[in-house]
Amino acid sequence: MELNILVVEGEEKKEWEKLGAYLKKKKFAVYQAATARDAYRILRNEPIHIVLSDFRLKGLNSMGFLRKVKTTRPQIEFIFLSGRVPLSGAIEAMKAGAYDFHEFPLNHRLLMAVIEKAHEKQSLFVEKVELERKVRERFNFGNIVGRSKPMQHVIEIVGSVAPKNVNILLSGETGTGKEMIANAIHYNSPRSSKPFIKVNCAAFNEGVLESELFGHEKGSFTGAISKRLGRFELANGGTIFLDEVGDVPLATQIKLLRVLQEKEFERVGGNETIKVDVRVIAATNRELKKLIDNGRFREDLYYRLNVVRIELPPLRDRKEDIPLLVSYFINKLGTEKGYGIRGITKEAMQVLLTYRWPGNVRELENALESSMALAEKDVIEARYLPPFLLLGQPQEGDHYHIPIDLPLEEIEREVIRHTLTRARGNKSLASRLLGIGLRTLQRKVKEL
């Protein structure tokens, strides 16, 4: 792999000489600095990936060095090397952004593995930053993560239609990110300073939904103790996002059609005609054409909503985006919830890449949050992933029928045996699936 390493040497001359020779043998581009001035000069002029630095440097405060470089070049990973440093010093360095800390004498193979992991993390970070830069330059859609052709196509359409005052229909499976795209369209449109109002049409029954959308007058029905403004009125000048629009009842569809055609409506129980200027973004995970054929959705409303249609691809059709999404969610969840997770192992990433993700991006985020909460280290290992990921997609032979006349001990034996088979012999996973402790499972395996 292409890797430029800056070595900032300390007093352990023999250790640094052996390390330098080992790195050059590995065909890395090695830059050596003996002073602070040399180190900063190299960092200014060379594309350094990894800094291997002594923690106790003459004439250079290592923590100040780390913080200064991380401020201007956050993608550079620091690995500190030293001898006889208090644990508190190593902890302080890690909190400040160092990737790892190793004491002399060095285990070169172990250090090599750490360098590779640090470079993996850096590559994802750099790729994400570069993608964000390109997206911001072109459309300023920083939250849309995707380098795959299907997502690049979506980004191009969104960038084209966002500035234009047209209604948009977003379609795709649950969890593909329709609300995120709706947000991006609104906040990159001339209406961005005006309200963005969201309505989940599946969350209300017919009477309540009509009131939610168009408001009601005091006394218009039981419980209407005061006048209420509807979502269309609140969204005036801005955008309204109608999620699950396929669940809007037919009677309400007529009033919705009038708003789209005439830009006016009356509140429930009212006579005053209210004019609004609202852009409509609708979303559905259902096939509206089928609903039209079944008489459950108005065709004229469909064409009013479907001025521009954007189909969001399922995650299984854009698996090359999974590493970027993983990096994005690790950073996002780490910031929001304080998880101290810095990356993911190759084995765990391979599990994520082979799963089909019926719940799409939302399911991926939930799986990562669960793994981050369970992780006892600063990286997500495969054993921390939810059991359904480790087991993969259920197969026909994964089900076992137990006769009701078997002795209880025989039933227990068969259940444990088939669970171990399902878990491919992984006792830790099998114990989690059975809801018992690992020691209990090991004891039962021996007894049975």
Residue 80's SS3 state is: strand
Output the pLDDT for position 293. 96
Output the pLDDT for position 135. 45
Residue 190 has pLDDT above 90, yes or no: yes
Residue 132 CB neighbours (<10 A): 17
Give residue 121's pLDDT band: very low, low, confident or very high (50, 70, 90). confident
Percent of the chain clearing pLDDT 70 (strictly above): 94
- The CATH number of 139-313 is 3.40.50.300
Contact criterion met (CB below 8 Å) for 75 and 83: no
Mean pLDDT score, 219-247: 91
Give residue 438's pLDDT band: very low, low, confident or very high (50, 70, 90). confident
- The mean predicted confidence, pLDDT, of the chain is 87
Mean pLDDT score, 367-384: 91
| Fold exhibited by the domain 4-130 | Rossmann fold (3.40.50)
Mean pLDDT score, 94-102: 86
Domains 139-313 and 316-391 share a fold: no
Mean pLDDT score, 131-152: 69
Higher pLDDT, 425 or 117: 117
pTM: predicted TM-score of the whole model, two decimal places = 0.61
- Tell me the residue ranges of DSSP E strands in 373-422: 379-380
Distance of CA 53 to the CA centre of its chain: 33
Q: How far apart are alpha carbons 58 and 38 in whole angstroms?
A: 13
Output the pLDDT for position 91. 83
Q: CB within 8 A of 165, min separation 6: which ones?
A: 190, 279
Give residue 367's pLDDT band: very low, low, confident or very high (50, 70, 90). very high
Residue 404 has pLDDT above 90, yes or no: no
Q: Where are the domains of the chain?
A: 4-130, 139-313, 316-391, 396-447
Kindly state which CATH superfamily the domain 396-447 is placed in: Homeodomain-like (1.10.10.60)
Higher pLDDT, 110 or 431: 110
CA angle 70, 71, 73 (to 5 degrees): 60
Nearest C-alpha neighbor of 17 from the set 2, 27, 28, 32: 32
Residue 136 has pLDDT above 60, yes or no: no
Mean pLDDT score, 360-382: 93
Most confident of the following: 45-54, 65-74, 357-366, 404-413: 357-366
Output the pLDDT for position 141. 63
Mean pLDDT score, 87-113: 85
DSSP letter (8 states) at residue 86: -
Mean pLDDT score, 140-156: 83
Nearest C-alpha neighbor of 176 from the set 37, 285, 277: 285
Q: CB within 8 A of 397, min separation 6: which ones?
A: none
Output the pLDDT for position 264. 95
Output the pLDDT for position 139. 44
Instruction: Tell the burial category of 220 from Cβ atoms under 10 Å away from its Cβ (0-12, 13-18, 19+).
Output: middle
Q: How far apart are alpha carbons 80 and 94 in whole angstroms?
A: 9
Kindly indicate whether the domain formed by 316-391 is annotated with CATH number 2.30.40.10.
no
Output the pLDDT for position 138. 46
Residue 132 has pLDDT above 70, yes or no: no
Q: What is the pLDDT of residues 271-298, one digit of tens each?
A: 999 999 999 999 999 999 999 999 999 9
Output the pLDDT for position 102. 87
